[in-house]
Every structure is written in structure tokens, then in C-alpha cells.
Amino acid sequence: MGTPSVGIKSFHLDTMNFRYENSYFLGSYMHRKPVLFLDFDRTLFDTDQFYAWLGEDRFGRILGLMGGSIEAPDFSVYLYPDTLAFLKTARKTHRLVLLTYAINTMLQRRKVRDSGIIPLLDDVIISSRDKGIEAKEYLARIGDPGWEHAFIDDAPKNISEMKAVNPDIITLRIERVPLSADAFHGLIHEPDVVVKDLNEVLQHLLKE
């Protein structure tokens, strides 16, 4: 795919990854804010409530949802109560990049799009690859000016992988729901900060 026109948001879709990038800023000097990489599920979006809506036959319901035989829910109701206010405030000081892992990329696109948060984001990356690698490649694409970037995720594994590839990125693990001991097994890197909600994240970011 050729270089998109300046000022046009572009979609990049292959068999594994999906990107929604504002090409107006890529490679320019107008985006000079630190990047805040944001997880989606259990960080911005209450995935457990969505799973409750799907019910026991989760796979069958997803097929029906994507095929159109089941009416889609209002995905915006699954955003955590602090999500929208956080995004509106954080975007004033940070470049907001949604970085979310998904096996079912099409379902994840639907969840993200219909949640209504895309207008508050600079870029969206939906990928089945290591988030640390995706973040490193993203920073290379925009011409990283050396800001102190940050990453928020609920999964200890993702935090560890991010820190392994990008040791200078500030990592914040959000603990919306309690995790089992297995979630921490064999990890090399700990988060820089552990928070309970996005209000605590904002307090930390404003300190920087």
C-alpha cells in the first residue's frame, strides 16, 4: 500500500493485524506528545460484562453476532464508567494509541468501533503479535523524539513483554479484577506502577 494522503486516517488490514493510523501525524513534528499505549479489554472495556451477555454458548453467539443473525448490543455500555472522561483528559497531554491483542480481529474491530471511543484516539492497533514489538515498531514509524512514553494493561504477561522490548516505557498495570497467582508465574519484568482504575492512571501521568 502506498503512502496515504496527508490528513487522512488510514486503515491497514492483513490476515493478522489491523491498524487505524492518523497519517497526518506519522513522520511529522506535529505529534510531539508522549505516546500512551492503551489496552482495551479489562482496561477501557468491561469484557466480563460482555461475556455475560454472550452467555454459555459464547462461540455460537459470536458467530451469530458477526453473521448478523443476532442483534448486536450497545457496546458503549460496556465501557468502564471512568473510560470516556479519562480519554478526554489524557489526550490533551498524550498521543493515545489503542494497542489491543486479539485472535478474532473482526470481533475486536467491532467492539472497538461500536464502543464509540475511536474519535478520542490518535491510532488503533489490533494485533495478534507481542505488544512490545508492536509498540517498538510504532515508535519507529512516528520517529520517536525520545519522550517518556507509557503503557497501560491489565495482563502481567503483556507488561513483562513490553518492558523486555522497550525498557524505557513506563508500564502501569491496572487491576480492575483480581488475578490468580498463575497470571504472574514465570514473569521477568514487573510494572512500574499498579493502579486500580483510570483515575489513578491520570494522577500518575499528571505527575510526569
Which amino acid, residue 84?
L
Q: Report the first-to-last Cα separation within the chain, whole angstroms.
A: 38
If pLDDT is split at 50, 70 and 90, which confidence band does 121 have? very high
Domain chopping of the chain, boundaries: 9-45+79-176+189-207
CA–CA distance, 155 with 171 (Å, rounded to integer):
11
| CATH 2.160.20.60 is the classification of domain 9-45+79-176+189-207 | no
**Residue 108, C-beta contacts closer than 8 angstroms, at least 6 positions apart:** 18, 40, 100, 102, 126
Mean pLDDT of 163-170: 95
Point out the least confidently predicted range of 84-93, 142-151, 189-198: 142-151
* Confidence check: pLDDT of 12 > 80: no
- Report the pLDDT value the prediction gives residue 143, as an integer from 0 to 100: 86
User: Distance between alpha carbon 188 and the CA centroid of its chain, in Å?
Assistant: 22
- Report the pLDDT value the prediction gives residue 152, as an integer from 0 to 100: 98
* Confidence check: pLDDT of 161 > 60: yes
Residue 87 φ then ψ, to 5°: -60, -40
- Report the pLDDT value the prediction gives residue 183, as an integer from 0 to 100: 66
If pLDDT is split at 50, 70 and 90, which confidence band does 21 have? low
**Helix axes 58-67 and 47-54, enclosed angle (nearest 10):** 90
Mean pLDDT of 2-18: 37
SS (H, E, C) the chain: CCCCCCCCEEEEECCCCEEEEECCCCCCCCCCCCEEEECCECCCECHHHHHHHHCCCHHHHHHHHHHCCCCCCCHHHHECCCHHHHHHHHCCCCEEEEEEECCCHHHHHHHHHHHCCHHHCCEEEEECCCHHHHHHHHHHHHCCCCCCCEEEECCHHHHHHHHHHCCCCEEEEECCCCCCHHHHCCCCCCCCEEECCHHHHHHHHHHC
pTM for the full model? 0.84
Mean pLDDT of 163-181: 90
Q: What is the mean pLDDT of the chain?
A: 85
